[in-house]
Structure 1
Amino acid sequence: MPLQAPVLLIVDYNLSRIGDVLHLRDYALQQWGAQTWLIRANPQDHDQTISDRVIDADPLHPDFVSRVLDHLGEDASRISAGMVFSDNAVASGAALLERLGLPVDDAALALGAFDKLAYRIAEDRIRPQLHPLGVTLPDFVRIDCLNDVRNFAVRQEGSFVIKPACEGNNRGVVVVSPGGDCEQAFEEVKPYLDGGVLAEAFLTFTREYSYDGLGKLWFVTEKVSASGRYPVEVAQILPARITEQERQAIRNAGEQVNRLVGQRIGPFHNEIKLSDSGYQTAVIEPNRRPGGMKIWTLAHAVHGLDLYAAWVDSVFAGPVPDMLPAATCSAATVMFGVPRDVTIDVTELGDIEALVHQTLALAAQQLKLAQQDIVLLETAWVAGETRLIHATPRDNSDFVAHACVALHDSSVDIRDLVRVLREQWLLVLERNLSSGLLLKVAS
């Protein structure tokens, strides 16, 4: 009887990660001769195309582990390695892999990497240990009603943030300025009350980074956010432009976060703010998964290491590097918006690569770069049905596209490239939609 192929089990993923799951599957087959099985709630046709077997199970269901084990039956013995690839599954997925006897980061501490309120509570417990490391902890409170918001506002000298405890992509995050409208802010987070909502003092540090990595391997990514009421991410930059002192301050905070949420061997993406002095840090939120906005794609372009392949190697007990090779360029993921509030279906906008290449050419001209110095790594529309998109983005659904670009001219600051690309994109999009046939201005 022929030996059966080993199995890599991927527990859940977000739709924006379809390409990453396909890459994980292909590498697992090529390097380890493994099939890839996928656990996904209400799987769709595309789930069948990116895996060898799909198991229908919701990682947020209280009986998730027992349901999956019942479904697997004797096939559970075929699973040689596993990885948890979504925030929703970070706790239940780890618990499942523990039951299967597979190496995985701690399931008992995983809730702190999913529930922002649970993390703040855990962080507060070790406040005396964090202060000597320069980690600032914000005042916070759980929000259950409008009076909770009002009472919290009274005790704040500055702005504060209200946000869902268990949502990603900046959904539902609202900044309330001193004397701001608590009622309106509460109405915006009201849909998230069942999953938990918290308010916390606004972290006034202006610079934001993420402490990213896999196992012991780590690096720092720089984040660019919009200012104002909706602090949405508009770009990620690698390498981060920081001093060695600042890098160490971010690492000190990031390592404490990993200990709090039980990370040891798997991926992490901890969002951290840094003071202008470079000594003080404050944690925005932890994540036990690869960073969003294609951060690992940027790392591959800049440092030449495929972290997705390294992740697969790690769960099969293969060798994993503990540091990245030196950077050979800089790179950024840039989010593209719309010139004004519109209702639009991005599938009708045409060839994304053609539009982005027009944008790159205009940016190169403005920054006096040779076109070959800006390399398009990948680009895609931000998928979705016909929807209202705001010119001032409120969350990630208010972007129509993203692009990952590498910059091979060190004389130009990549922040300038990000700014010019976003500006030129609006001109390109406006020109391509000037007929008005595909664009409906929001009333």
Structure 2
Amino acid sequence: MNANRPLLLIVDYNLTRVADVAHIASYARQRYGAEIALIRANPTERDSLLCEYLIDLDPLAPNFVDEALYYLKSWRERLRAGMVFSDNAVQSGAALLERLGLVVDSAALAANAYSKRDYRVCEARVRDLLEAQGMLVPDCVEVHDVDDLGRFASAHEGGFVVKPSCEGNNRGVVIVAPGDSLDAAFAAVAPYLERGAICESFISFAREFSFDGVGATHFITEKVSAQGRYPVEVAQILPARLTAAEQATLVRAGRVANLLVGQLRGPFHNEIKLDDTGLRAAVVEPNRRPAGMKIWTIAREVYEIDFYALWVDAAFGVVREPALVSAGRQAATVMLGVPADGRLTPPDADEGAELFDRALARAAALLGTDALRRVEFGWLSETARFIPALPRDNADFAAQACFALESDVHDMRSVVATVRAVWLSVLAEACHIFEPANAAASLAIA
């Protein structure tokens, strides 16, 4: 530790992003000679390996900013940049960085990026403006009990969505179709009531994308979701195949979302649905953080730009707006499930990667290409656990992987579907890794 070196402050992160934080820290040390201070609730030994200074604080605590300022006071002169890396910290972290005089996007508007309810309220205030820009603004109400669902259902007979206000990864999100049990829908969202839950009218637009990037630099990612009651994300694809009109509609909606949540210099990941005409869009939810599901990882494959480096530069006040030019390849992140309800006992990462490589090779043979390449593979958990064949959220998968296709000819949506299907057969063959819940399921897989 060197008292003369500049200090980068990272405010909170989710455990799934530990490799991203390590990459950020490495770049900041190399590019700016910086040391790293990390604020996180209940930090572990793994956190201490990421940084030179570690502070145990919860960004959701009511006195977070004052306590953080107290612990940081001896380093105030060294602080040169700050980054807020979790949804829980988006508002309090921005307020802290503002108090420290560091570059950061608006703390006053950050609540709109944290709370889905607050964002819908903000949209409703400017409904006329948004509708004039070709945007659909869903109806939205708070949920406190099952009677609230009943009243909303009566006013929205075609169906609606119930979901937590402040939760990610599609946890607790349920599509309620006509005739569905309201008690069951409320039970799914009940665990999240402490931080709020909402009903909102169903956005019927079939296609979903995300508007991603840092500062003024953006790209558009195509999202693939499961059909049915639990619309979990199963893949992200780059580049999204869009007409000029469709791209203009998504960019306009994405920029409006950034405006409403106060984004200017930092990262964003705005989830947007697009209608069949390509002329209307609706924001599913905005985020003032890097995209999940390794979207920035696959973006580096497609555009050969390190968006984490771009974010670090922005935090240090260095504005870069690189031109995004496709490298002529496509890339995707896929969620990998299990072939039946059963118990997964994950082997080490190397064996998992070998299984995924086997799936890629078989998929390539079926597709008539030899251009599939693994970028990353990881089990979602290192411990043995039961996994359902029908995922209710993104924790109900075996693994997550990224792969690249060294061609822009194939339809990546078909490639993704083939890879995910072939993976199930590969995993079914690995009897020491996956055990179906019953013999009948085992016979069906065979």
TM-score range, shorter chain: over 0.9
In 2: Cα distance, 1:122 partner to 1:427 partner: 47
The structure-2 alpha-carbon separation of the partners of 1:184 and 1:442, relative to structure 1 and needing over 3 Å to count, comes to farther
Instruction: Name 1:304's counterpart in structure 2.
Output: 304
Question: How far apart in 2 are the matches of 1:297 and 1:279?
Answer: 29
Using the alignment, how far apart are the partners of 2:398 and 2:353 within structure 1? 13
Work out which of the residue numbers 410, 435, 440 in structure 2 matches 1:439: 435
1:27 aligns with 2:23: no
Matched, 1:177 2:177: yes
Please report the TM-score for the alignment, with normalisation by the length of structure 1.
Answer: 0.96
User: Alpha-carbon deviations, 1:282-331, whole Å to 9, x = none?
Assistant: 11000000110111111110011111111111111224125323342111
- In the alignment, which residue of structure 1 is the partner of 2:420? 422
State the 1:76 CA deviation: 2.1
User: What is the CA RMSD across the aligned residues, in angstroms?
Assistant: 1.6
CA contact (8 A) 1:343 1:442 kept: no
Alignment partners' CA distance in 1, 2:348 and 2:29: 36
Q: Provide the residue aligned with 2:224 in structure 1.
A: 224
Counterpart amino acid of 1:211? F
Structure 1 position 140, deviation (Å): 1.4
The DSSP-based 3-state class of the residue aligned with 1:62 is coil
**Contact 1:275-1:281 at 8 Å conserved across structures:** yes
Alignment of 1:353-372 (within 5 A): 353-370=353-370
- Structure 2 partner of 1:162: 162
Contact 1:212 1:218 in 2 (8 A): yes
Q: Is the 1:359–1:425 contact (alpha carbons within 8 Å) kept by the matching residues of 2?
A: yes
Structure 2 CA distance for partners of 1:442 and 1:104, relative to 1, 3 Å: farther
Aligned length: 438
Cα offset, 1:348, TM superposition: 6.9
Match of 1:45 in 2: 45
Q: Conserved in 2, the CA contact under 8 Å of 1:218 and 1:323?
A: no
- Distance in 1, matches of 2:194 and 2:311, equals 34
Letter in 2 for 1:130: L
Counterpart amino acid of 2:100?
Answer: L
Alignment partner, residue 106 of structure 2: 106
Listed one character per residue, the Cα deviations across residues 252-282 of structure 1 (whole Å, up to 9, x for unaligned) are 1111111110000000000000000000101
1:410 CA displacement: 2.5
CA deviation after TM superposition for structure 1 residue 354, in Å? 0.6
Q: How does 1:239-254 map to 2 (within 5 A)?
A: 239-254=239-254
- Cα gap change, 1:114/1:345 in structure 2, threshold over 3 Å: closer, same or farther? farther
Equivalent position of 2:234 in the other structure: 234
Q: Summarize the alignment of residues 385-396 of structure 1 with structure 2, pairs less than 5 Å apart.
A: 385-396=383-394
3-state SS, counterpart of residue 395 of structure 2:
helix
Preserved contact between residue 216 and residue 322 of structure 1 (Cα < 8 Å): no
User: Within the alignment, does 1:193 sit opposite 2:193 as a pair?
Assistant: yes
Cα distance in 2 between the residues matched to 1:216 and 1:348: 40
Which AA in structure 1 matches 2:416? V
Instruction: Give the Cα separation in 1 of the matches to 2:89 and 2:21.
Output: 15
TM-score (norm 2): 0.95
CA distance in 2, matches of 1:238, 1:440: 34
> Aligned-pair distance for 1:202?
1.1
d(CA) in 1 for partners of 2:68, 2:4: 21
In structure 2, distance between residues paired with 1:329 and 1:393: 30
- Is the CA contact 1:348–1:438 (under 8 Å) kept in the aligned structure 2? no
**Partner Cα distance (1:212, 1:201) in 2:** 25
Q: Deviations over 1:53-89 (max 9, x none)?
A: 2111000101111111111222122111001000000
The correspondence of residues 250-329 of structure 1 with structure 2, limited to 5 A, is: 250-329=250-329
Please tell me the residue identity of whatever aligns with 2:377. T
- Unaligned regions of 5+ residues in structure 2, if any? 440-446
- Indicate the larger mover: 69-78 or 129-138: 69-78
Q: Provide the secondary structure at the position in 1 that maps to 2:121.
A: helix
Matches of 2:396 and 2:168, distance apart in 1: 14
Partner SS state of residue 351, structure 1: helix
Residue in 2 aligned with 1:333?
Answer: 333
The one-character-per-residue Cα deviations of 1:333-352 (angstroms, maximum 9, x if unpaired) are 01100111123343579711
Greater Cα shift, 200-209 or 48-57 = 48-57
